[in-house]
């Protein structure tokens, strides 16, 4: 059910490792890069020449564009010679390819005819070749999601302003990034629900770690977690958002990142990209906990009992500890290869990095004056468990390209 071949990482030449990926608001664990495929050799005697040529042209376009971009495009916002975005053009090329590619899944005799080769980024093996069209589709959906995440990163890098104030991210960019995160999550969710089940258990073990179900789930949850982070930052800026709303968003963010960490921690991620991915998830999980404990502490402090005030102080102290830990986690992430930088703070963490130390110190001092030291030093209270509200966009695989219908008519 599909031949499998891997190339060890020491064969050299295919996987490019940049030494630095610059400023990172959204971590993209490398772009999987396709290698050329000769459709005519595998399908030339089974499909009309025009259809084989169409498949070849569509995929060749993707190969050329993806290799031009390299494994990462987090550093600059490149434009094509016609003024369009290279991200958008590559994404469109992938969308154009899928309806034609899907034709190979509809005929059992064609599913395993073509060997598809992709360069891995997080796997120990440099590249994986599988004669399985579902592997090709899974790789395409993964690349589409990573392009969206790359676009979100570009939108969320703070820019200098004409008035000379602290660099910031516009509200328009923040709103757009949420839509992009949901779209990326939708591609990954589709891959998990509709493509991964097409593989047998044995075939799944042959997939590179980039495409393991746990890795796909972690990326999907990362996209949703970063979306909620932006929502929380916008709520912080809104005079209408209540403490209860902010606490709910913060606690939901904790759950997304906790689940992302649960999915990624046991994966044998390798080759720099993978280890860095794990560092990123750990950093964002601890950062989310700082927000969760902070807003939970503020609401507990609104209570009128000694116990609630003690719990509030414990929560704020936990937030302060998590904030300190998140700074260390951020440093570990940036120091890991390929190195990166944290852009100027904005949104949630810009606010909380200033408020958490100040409010914690103030509340501890006030409550220490009111109550005995022992009663306020209890362990941090459990965070409320809210249902997760942010869901991936529903992405459905497109219908077959019309060229397949013409092909069937010609074969009759």
Over residues 169-196, the pLDDT tens digits come to 999 999 999 999 999 999 999 999 999 9
What confidence score (pLDDT) does residue 131 get? 95
Over residues 237-281, the pLDDT tens digits come to 999 999 999 999 999 999 999 999 999 988 888 667 888 999 999
What confidence score (pLDDT) does residue 78 get? 44
For the chain, the average pLDDT equals 87
Q: 126: pLDDT confidence band, cut at 50, 70 and 90? A: confident
Contact call for residues 97 and 60 (beta carbons, < 8 A): no
Q: Which two tokens stand for residue 247?
A: 């606490």
Over residues 302-345, the pLDDT tens digits come to 988 888 888 899 999 999 999 999 999 999 999 998 899 998 88
- Phi, psi torsion values for 34, nearest 5 degrees: -80, 150
What confidence score (pLDDT) does residue 79 get? 44
Question: Measured between alpha carbons, how far is 344 from 24 in angstroms, rounded to an integer?
Answer: 10
**Confidence check: pLDDT of 77 > 50:** no
Its pTM stands at 0.90
Beta-carbon contacts of residue 149 (< 8 Å; ≥ 6 apart): 26, 27, 28, 180, 181, 184, 219, 223
Beta-carbon contacts of residue 80 (< 8 Å; ≥ 6 apart): 86, 89
What confidence score (pLDDT) does residue 164 get? 61
Cα–Cα–Cα angle for 169, 171, 173, rounded to 5 degrees: 65
Rounded percentage of the chain residues whose pLDDT exceeds 90: 65
Contact call for residues 220 and 263 (beta carbons, < 8 A): no
What confidence score (pLDDT) does residue 194 get? 97
Cα–Cα–Cα angle for 333, 339, 345, rounded to 5 degrees: 60
Question: Measured between alpha carbons, how far is 1 from 198 in angstroms, rounded to an integer?
Answer: 11
Q: How many helices (H) and strands (E) does the chain have?
A: 13, 6
Question: Measured between alpha carbons, how far is 47 from 113 in angstroms, rounded to an integer?
Answer: 12
Average pLDDT of the residues in 351-369: 85
Question: Measured between alpha carbons, how far is 5 from 359 in angstroms, rounded to an integer?
Answer: 57
């Amino acid at each position: 059910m599909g031949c499998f071949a891997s190339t060890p990482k020491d064969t050299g030449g295919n996987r490019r490792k940049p030494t630095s990926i610059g400023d990172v608001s959204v971590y993209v664990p490398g772009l999987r890069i396709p290698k050329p495929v000769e459709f005519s050799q595998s399908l030339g005697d089974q499909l009309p020449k025009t259809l084989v040529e169409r498949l070849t042209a569509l995929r060749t376009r993707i190969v050329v564009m993806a290799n031009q971009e390299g494994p990462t495009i987090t550093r600059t916002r490149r434009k094509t010679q016609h003024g369009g975005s290279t991200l958008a053009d590559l994404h469109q090329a992938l969308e154009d390819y899928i309806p034609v590619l899907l034709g190979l899944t509809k005929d059992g005799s064609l599913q395993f005819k073509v060997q598809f080769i992709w360069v891995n980024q997080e796997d120990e093996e440099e590249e994986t070749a599988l004669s399985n069209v579902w592997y090709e589709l899974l790789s395409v959906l993964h690349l589409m999601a990573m392009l969206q995440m790359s676009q979100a990163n570009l939108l969320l890098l703070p820019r200098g302003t004409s008035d000379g104030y602290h660099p910031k991210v516009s509200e328009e960019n923040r709103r757009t990034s949420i839509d992009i995160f949901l779209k990326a999550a939708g591609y990954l969710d589709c891959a998990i629900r509709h493509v991964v089940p097409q593989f047998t258990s044995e075939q799944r073990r042959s997939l590179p770690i980039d495409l393991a179900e746990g890795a796909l789930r972690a990326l999907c949850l990362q996209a949703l977690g970063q979306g909620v982070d932006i929502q929380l930052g916008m709520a912080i800026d809104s005079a209408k958002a209540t403490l209860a709303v902010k606490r709910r968003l913060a606690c939901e963010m904790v759950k997304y990142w906790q689940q992302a960490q649960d999915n990624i921690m046991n994966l044998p991620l390798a080759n720099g990209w993978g280890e860095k991915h794990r560092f990123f998830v750990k950093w964002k999980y601890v950062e989310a906990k700082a927000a969760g404990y902070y807003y939970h502490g503020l609401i507990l402090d609104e209570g009128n009992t000694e116990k609630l005030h003690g719990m509030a102080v414990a929560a704020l102290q936990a937030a302060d500890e998590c904030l300190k830990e998140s700074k260390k986690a951020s440093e570990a992430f940036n120091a890991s290869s390929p190195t990166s930088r944290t852009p100027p703070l904005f949104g949630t963490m810009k606010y909380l990095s200033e408020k958490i130390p100040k409010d914690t110190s103030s509340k501890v001092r006030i409550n220490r004056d009111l109550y005995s030291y022992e009663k306020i030093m209890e362990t941090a209270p459990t965070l409320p468990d809210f249902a997760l509200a942010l869901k991936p966009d529903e992405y459905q695989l497109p219908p077959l390209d019309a060229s397949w219908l013409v092909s069937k008519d010609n074969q009759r």
